[in-house]
Structure 1
Amino acid sequence: MTTPTRLAPAPVIDETARLLTEHYVFPEIAEQLAGLLKRRLTEGAYDVDDAEELARLVTADLQSVNGDRHLRLKHHATPVSLKQGAATRDAMRRDFDSSLGGAPRVQLLDGGVAVVELAPMLFPLEWAAEPLSAAGARFGGSKPLYVLSSDSTFSAAEELAYDLQQLGRAVVVGEPTRGGAHPCQGWTLHPHLEATVPIGHAINPLSSTNWEGTGVQPDIPCAATDSLDHAHALALARLAG
């Protein structure tokens, strides 16, 4: 039996504030947020013993100014390394290993329409190239392509949908996505807590903007639960034509 690591909120808050001011892509907002965190700490808002609860409270405050969903204090149930970025990478590797390399479902539907599920996220190319190539090796660059979206589609998955949509290569079917476009880095502040701070601002060369805050807007809006049926019907009609 292991002894839980003691949670001391003050060092976590101080380090989060430092990371904000040194790395956040929007310096003026970083100053506002650093001041907010320190004020809330002084007020006793973070006087909790539970790492998960502290993560929830701090994340709410971090996202209170501009709604940046990549800006957060993440809780990890499994203790992680203190090495920079290790928390995110370790959790990602576990997801990769448990999801057949990020392509857990390949299915052939009626009419010769194929479904390839990419989940639970998009993984680094050096990991995912082989399993993804195996899942869609004969697809090519000209067949009709439909991307299904929901309100839980986020970050890199949004970028894939957005870029394919902007290029005119795919039709997005489903719900508006969550709206997180800023690339970020992670720092482990405690064995169960990781601060993620956006360090860049994505700009699509075709739209001259991105999906931050607004999400990717579907070409064919529908409930996520109906998106596969809609896309299947669209694909069949396209093939018949």
Structure 2
Amino acid sequence: MTTIADTAGTLDTAGTLDRALALITAGYVFPERTAAIETAIRGHLAAGTYEGLAAPELCAAVTAHLQEACPDKHLRLLYEQEPQPMEEEPEELAEARFESMCVEANFGVQRVERLDGNLGYLDLRLIADPATAAGTFAAAMQLLARTEALILDLRKNIGGLPSGVALWCSYFFPDGETHLNDVYDRKTESTRQYWTSTHLPAPRYLDRPVYVLTSDSTFSGGEELAYNLQATKRATLVGETTRGGAHPTARISVTPHVTVTVPTARSINPVTGTNWEGVGVIPEISVPAGTALETAVEHALRRITAG
């Protein structure tokens, strides 16, 4: 039986890849693609591509080859400097860790401001769980309620929960009747629908322009928020094409220092019938991320002036 090394300095490459491939085959949301993934990685292993690589370099190389075989940016092998427990992390612990991160980040709300010309500006860095973050979401939207146009800055948004995306979207629609997104889960073979909320603790932002700023760092849940608002024609996107990660993902230890991330679900937008995986969310107004705010302000002011 293959023994997988448990130190940072040594690694049983073949054993590590055996386990990583087994986890991908068992859990990947597109099971029909796993044979090609396994063929590609085992081909590199047989050719000696990974020979002599230390764990960090091995993870980087395997990640590149995984994404060549299957262009899914959530499909990765990651090196962990600190040893990780080999037991599968209880869902409650993972949720608690994410919640702690959200609290430290003010539930993603980095900055709320009224710009010249009565433009609202919201810098949102992650998408928190509305069960605990709804009050912060509402406080931000209350401060922005009387502006004439809103700029939602997702250029540094790293993602989060679909339920949080749905609540943020709800502020830009008049009721609870807008179907935003579906998420199909392979393990349960079920699909969960996400709709706008009927009741909100702050005023809705209706009948006014919304601009969403994006960058090539905008990822996952941040991309979903941008994509939902674009697909429903509720916002104009300004900036760069996003990273292209649309699949909710499990993070599983392969060794104490190597983790595999396996997409186990996928988003299905009810308007487009697809998602942004591998291609990103493409803005209507394509400009460098560094000038996106200035560009959005110019467009918003012209639109307000034109009536």
Task: Mark yes or no: TM-score above 0.5.
Answer: yes
Does structure 1 conserve the Cα–Cα contact (< 8 Å) formed by 2:9 and 2:54? no
Q: How does 1:200-239 map to 2 (within 5 A)?
A: 200-239=265-304
Q: Report the counterpart of residue 79 of structure 1 in structure 2.
A: 83
1:16 maps to amino acid: A
Superposition deviation, residue 209 in structure 1:
1.7
Q: How does 1:24-173 map to 2 (within 5 A)?
A: 24-48=28-52, 50-84=54-88, 92=98, 95-119=101-125, 121-138=126-143, 139=145, 140-142=204-206, 143-173=208-238
Q: Does 2:13 align with 1:14?
A: no
Superposition deviation, residue 200 in structure 1:
2.4
Number of aligned residues: 238
- Cα pair distance change 1:60/1:132, threshold 3 Å: same
Superposition deviation, residue 38 in structure 1:
2.7
Runs of at least 5 residues in structure 1 that lack an aligned partner in the other structure: none
- Cα pair distance change 1:122/1:82, threshold 3 Å: farther
Runs of at least 5 residues in structure 2 that lack an aligned partner in the other structure: 1-6, 146-203
CA RMSD of aligned residues (A): 2.7
- Cα pair distance change 1:12/1:130, threshold 3 Å: farther
Superposition deviation, residue 231 in structure 1:
1.1
- Partner-residue secondary structure (3-state), 1:59: helix
Superposition deviation, residue 67 in structure 1:
1.5
- Partner-residue secondary structure (3-state), 2:251: strand
- Partner-residue secondary structure (3-state), 1:163: helix
Q: Deviations over 1:89-143 (max 9, x none)?
A: 6875675354332122222211222221111x32343454343333323532314
2:301 maps to amino acid: L
- Partner-residue secondary structure (3-state), 1:137: helix
CA distance in 1, matches of 2:291, 2:236: 15
CA distance in 2, matches of 1:133, 1:76: 37
TM-score (norm 2): 0.68
1:116 maps to amino acid: L
- Cα pair distance change 1:85/1:67, threshold 3 Å: farther
Higher strand fraction (1 or 2): 2
- Partner-residue secondary structure (3-state), 2:63: helix
Identity of aligned residues (%): 39
CA distance in 2, matches of 1:63, 1:197: 12
